[in-house]
Amino acid sequence: MDTPRTGIPDHLASRMSMAEQHAYLRERFSRRRLLRTGAAGAGGVVGAGLLSGAACGGPSRSASPAPTLVPSSAATRVDGSLVAPFGRHLAFGADPRTQMRVSWQVPLAVRRPYVRVGLRPWELSRKIEAEVRPLRTPPLSDRLPSVDQFYLHAALDGLRPGTTYYYGVGHDGFDPADPRRFGALGTFRTAPAKAEKFVFTAFGDQGVSYDALANDQVILGQNPSFHLHAGDICYADSSGQGSDDDTYDARVWDQFLAQTESVASRVPWMVTTGNHDMEAWYSPDGYGGQLARWSLPESGPDPRKAPGVYAFSYGNVGVVALDANDVSHEIPANRGHTGGRQTRWLDRTLRRLRGDDDIDFIVVFFHHCAFSTTSAHASDGGVRDAWVPLFDKHQVDLVINGHNHIYERTDAIRRGAVGRRVPVGATTDPTRDGTVYVTAGGAGARLYSFPVPDSYEGHEKDLDHVDTYHWTKDRKKAPEEVEWSRVRYTGFSFLAVEAEPGGRPTLRVTALAESGERVDHFTVRRGR
């Protein structure tokens, strides 16, 4: 029987029992690194030849480059056929009809990475060179080594609208077009040229856990056209204060990208930045790691300073991503870091989208909550002050947040008060009633609690008011009594939103538990 590629020389492995192989690897690489390599799906523990970002012509995205699956002191010159790419994730470019960004990771540096793409799995004729964005994390404590990570990105432009493509990622020695590697191929579909019915999904606060993985698989079952991630992506930074005193382990990103690959390799994974995504070891403003790992639409006011701020349109829906760290009263590490440019851009972008005859609905997503009642974070007064008046002004249809690790949904809100009650199953018109705000923070991180009982489909406990608080600019909790908390669910969950164009355009918004059980649903229809 052929000996599998394990990182053990063939002449030794052929004479070893499985127990002896395990002991060999444990002694050579350490148990933690071996387990992490297995979780990431990297084919071997060793990798290929050297390649720097400069050799690929890509700009350096971080003042302090970073981590991979093995310490930077390990030997890195190995046959490229032994290095398996992992952590594939897609994102739209500025125009989802014609642009897709393919990103992935390798456990060690490789030579000449690329993407193959075509209309059939056996015809991957188009070959696009990838940009390398290496990231180094220094040893942040005695227990963490200095580690290197290698993130690869390819821009696919000039695609056909409404078309399914096959793609594979590779490098010298690892060709995804090789029939023996067909299992490594992925697919994606570009946005249609004309509006048609579609579904997108959303959540925030994911991390690495069994519940996060379960949510991913239920999301995949919705067949979404894209997914919105409202920040606090993997929790490599467990403190979330944007400080270099935070506890940080960059290797958690390896686990996260491996966990997410089964869905993010075929569904564009559109992320924005939460407080746990401010990683102080990477400039600028703690976003150097984000710039290395993700390729997002560069349609915002400053893609390098605020990579989580952008907009795109899919069908009849305009989507706007924001960085709430810029306006947060609760966690001020990056407060004001765009100098007001983000808020001015938001006003212009919402005006443009609302004036576009092809756009029926505007969906905005970001991390910190404008309206929530949990005992952990509740509402951020900075978001309310800066952005809620703009949401009212431009009649935003749906706002999606994370930060609070639960599901909570408001009534329709105008000028900070209930414009119309929206019980489970109801329909609301933003032109008349106001905007519905959804906190979808149950993606997989440890759950929070409410100060009052849950109230969700089949278990409604409507209350006249909830005693809660919001954060003030001086980081104090200001008590408030609110009437807008309509649905509350303490459980892992996500949103699935169906957009339908036509004579009376409709957004059907559903919240699903990780089991697939429905816990909330409502409909948005705009008046004509």
Summarize pLDDT for 496-513 with one digit per residue, the tens: 999 999 999 999 999 999
Predicted confidence band at 466 (pLDDT cuts at 50, 70, 90)? Answer: very high
Maximum pairwise Cα distance, the chain: 76
**What is the share, in percent, of the chain residues with pLDDT greater than 90?**
76
Average pLDDT of the segment spanning 154-165:
98
Tell whether the model's pLDDT for residue 331 goes beyond 70: yes
Q: How far is CA 355 from the centre of its chain?
A: 28
Residue 22 has pLDDT above 50, yes or no: no
According to the per-residue pLDDT averaged within each range, which of 7-11, 48-52, 73-77, 119-123 is highest?
119-123
Residue 417: the pLDDT is 96
State the pLDDT at residue 94.
96
Q: What is the pTM of this model?
A: 0.86
The pLDDT value recorded for residue 528 is 61
Q: Is the confidence at residue 44, as pLDDT, over 90?
A: no
In the prediction, which pLDDT does 131 show? 97
- DSSP assignment, residue 248? B
- Among 70-84, 135-149, 305-319, 395-409, the range scoring the smallest mean pLDDT is 70-84
Q: Which domains does the chain have, with CATH numbers?
A: 1-40 (no CATH), 46-187 (2.60.40.380), 198-210+239-249+268-525 (3.60.21.10)
| 460/468 Cα distance (integer angstroms) | 20
Of the segments 15-24, 123-132, 442-451, which one has the largest average pLDDT value? Answer: 442-451
Mean pLDDT, rounded, of the chain = 87
Please report the pLDDT score of residue 342 as a whole number.
98
**Cis? peptide before 138, omega within 30° of 0:** no
Predicted pLDDT at 312: 98
Tokens 């339908």 sit on residue: 500
Of 306, 299, 381, the residue nearest 342 (C-alpha): 306
* pLDDT tens digit sequence for 116-157: 999 999 899 889 999 999 999 988 777 777 889 999 999 999
3 state SS for 405-425? CCEEEEEEEECCEEEECCCCC
Helix segments in 183-285, DSSP class H: 210-220, 252-264
Positive/negative CA dihedral, 137, 102, 132, 185:
positive
pLDDT at 181: 74
Number of H helices, E strands in the chain: 9, 26
In this prediction, residues 21-44 reach a mean pLDDT of 34
Give the residue among 406, 373, 385 at the shortest CA–CA distance from 483. 373
Mean pLDDT, residues 465-470: 98
Asked if residue 329 has pLDDT above 80, the reply is yes
By residue count, the chain amounts to: 528
The one-letter code for the residue type at 369 is: C
Question: d(Cα 467, Cα 431) in Å, to the nearest integer?
Answer: 29
Q: What CA–CA distance (Å, rounded) separates 396 from 368?
A: 17
Q: CA-CA distance, 5 to 14, in Å (whole number)?
A: 11
What local confidence, expressed as pLDDT, does residue 9 receive? 52
pLDDT, tens digit (0-9, with 9 covering 90-100), for 55-105: 233 333 333 333 333 334 444 567 888 999 999 999 999 999 999 999 999
Question: Mean per-residue pLDDT for 399-426?
Answer: 98
Least confident interval from 61-65, 216-220, 260-264, 385-389: 61-65
- Is the model's pLDDT at 450 over the cut of 90? yes
CA 289 to chain centre: 13
Token pair of 449 as six digits: 């609690």
